[in-house]
Amino acid sequence: MQDLHKTIELLLDYLRGVWVKKRYVMICTWLICPLGFAYVASMPDTYQSQARVYVDTRSVLQPLLHGLAIQTNPQQEISMMVKTLLSRPNLEIIARESDLDVTALTPEDYENMISQLTNNIRLRSAGRDNLYTISYSNSDPQMARTVVQETLDLFVEGALGSSRKDSDSASRFIEEQITDYENRLSSAEQRVADFQRKYASLLPDKGSFHENYTELRSQLEQTELTIKETEQQIKALSGELRGQNSQIDSFAVKPSNSDAILTTRYDARIKSLEERLDELSLKYTDLHPDVIEANNLLESLQKSRQEEIDDYLSNVSSDDPSSSLGALSTEIRIEISRLQSLIASLDVRKDNYKTKLEDLKQKIDLVPQVEAEFTALNRDYGITKRKYEELLSRRESADLAQKADVSSEDVQFRVIDPPLAPLAPTGPNRLIGYTAVVFIGFAAGLAVAFLISQLNPILIRGRQLTALTSYPVLGVVSHLNVKEIRKVNRTRILVFAFSSGLILLMYGVLAATEILQIDLLSRILA
């Protein structure tokens, strides 16, 4: 409680000190308030023009073109245009279109004009989606309306132009990429073709290497088998020469088996042709030219063989056994000679097959590398082809989207309130300005009086003297001329009241004048 009492006394001492120095309040108010009143009164009137526009981003074609054409998000485009509307390039366009740049005579004036446009043009949402308000304040009402109109036009044209510009840029980019991928695809196709020509026998997709190797191996085995069979036939014929009598008896007893015992020079060719025909039958149909030719040749060989057998049998069937035996021996020797010639030709064929197999075996280590390179070429070619086809699809979608933009805009701008030249000024608010000047004047005076009272303190009670000097105050002697002091104090109070009243009277007159002007303008506009 004692601390609270001391605090109250301290505040009262401060107030008494300020009251004693109240002449500084009067000085500050007379230095600040008249000048402030004059400044606020001389401030030029500002006129604000505004426009409201609604941006309709709904389009009937959007759901119809979903999945068929490239579609942009109009809401994002409008949001981006709102954020970039007051950029410096756009502000320069507004200044040029509204002839504000004519008033700028120096670069400094031009920069000040751009800064003023930045600070005074307002684009804000009007409380609902896609409803925007554009406002601008200027000392000239016509200029305020012109700036708002140019800003509105830039906002509308910028949003639509940006959409078309983006669409054109995307189309140009796609065309450039398509041209680039066409060149890359042609180069890839040429590389694949050159590689196929170079390594045609080793490519895995053709099956040439493995098929050739398997076929050569099979043909070599077949040739070796034919050689063994022919050698066995030679041995059998040689045995026939050593035992002609038994064979003659056997031939006489079983003349119907002569076809199975005798061989002709056509047997090997018929057998080889039959094997070739079997191979062709696995690959082709009976109507294939190679199959038809092989069948005709086989029939011709079989017919020639039968004629040779018939001739031989007709000679053997004569009545002279010795002549039959000599003819048979001669035929056997001829057949042995033919078979030996056949073995010689088969040996040449076998050596040829072995040479080719050795050549393929030397290339077998190259096959994995060729397959890997060919796989890489096909992979690059496939990627390039897929990207090229995707770009073609995107181009079709872009063309469809451009046609849709021409037929119907995705964004529709509806001007709800067009900009008008205001008849009444909207600023400055001089009533608030006058009030602020009065407040600042008296606040500054009180602050100066308090500061001086602290720098040059005045002792009002004896306790203050005790606190300053540490000496006790034993008594207080009052002033002898109390009446004169009271008279001076009353005079000072009257002067302070008159000074403050005069300042407040000036404030009242100015405030009343401002209120009357506002009321008069409201009635005129109404």
Q: Return per-residue pLDDT of the chain as tens, 526 residues.
A: 667 877 887 788 778 888 888 889 999 999 999 999 999 988 888 888 889 888 876 554 455 444 444 455 566 677 777 788 888 888 888 888 888 888 888 889 889 888 888 888 888 886 666 788 889 988 888 988 999 999 888 888 776 555 555 566 667 778 888 888 788 888 887 877 777 676 665 555 444 556 666 777 888 888 888 888 888 888 887 776 665 544 444 444 344 444 445 667 777 788 888 888 878 877 777 777 777 888 888 888 888 878 777 776 666 554 444 445 556 677 777 777 788 888 888 888 888 888 877 776 666 656 666 666 777 777 777 888 888 888 887 777 766 656 655 444 556 778 888 888 887 788 788 889 999 999 999 999 999 988 988 887 766 666 666 766 777 777 776 666 778 878 888 898 899 999 999 999 999 999 999 888 878 877 776 6
Strands 122-125 and 131-138, sheet pairing: antiparallel
CB count in 10 Å sphere of residue 306: 13
Report H helices in 21-44: 23-42
In angstroms and rounded to an integer, the radius of gyration of the C-alpha atoms of the chain is: 60
Note the pLDDT of residue 32: 93
Alpha-helical runs (H) found in 21-106: 23-42, 61-64, 74-84, 88-97
CA-wise closest residue to 147 among 114, 106, 124, 125: 114
| Locus of tokens 């036939």 | 233
201, 209 contact by CB (below 8 A): yes
Q: Which of 228, 141, 184 minimizes the C-alpha distance to 236?
A: 228
Task: Find tokens 């669409």 and name the residue.
Answer: 167
Q: Among residues 79, 89, 58, which one has the least CA distance to residue 125? A: 79
Strand order in 131-138's β-sheet?
122-125, 131-138, 47-56, 412-417
Which backbone phi and psi does 485 adopt, to 5 degrees? -65, -45
Three-class SS of residue 430? helix
Can you tell me whether residue 69 is helix, strand or coil? coil
Question: Burial, 376: exposed, middle or buried (Cβ in 10 Å; 0-12, 13-18, 19+)?
Answer: exposed
Q: Which amino acid is at 524?
A: I
Are 146 and 98 in contact by the 8 Å Cβ rule? The answer is: yes
Query: At 336, which helix (H) or strand (E)?
Result: helix 321-363
Is the omega angle on the peptide bond into residue 44 within 30 degrees of 0, that is, cis? no
In this prediction, residue 30 carries a pLDDT of 93
Residue carrying structure tokens 């020079």: 265
Q: State residue 61's pLDDT score.
A: 45
- pTM of the predicted model as reported, rounded to 2 decimal places: 0.46
d(CA 265, CA 309): 11
* Structure-block tokens of residue 50: 């505004």
Q: Amino acid identity of 83?
A: K
* Site of tokens 């039958």: 281
In this predicted structure, what is the pLDDT of residue 444?
94
* Amino acid letter, 441: G
Helical (H) or strand (E) element with 231: helix 208-242
Is residue 307 helix, strand or coil? helix
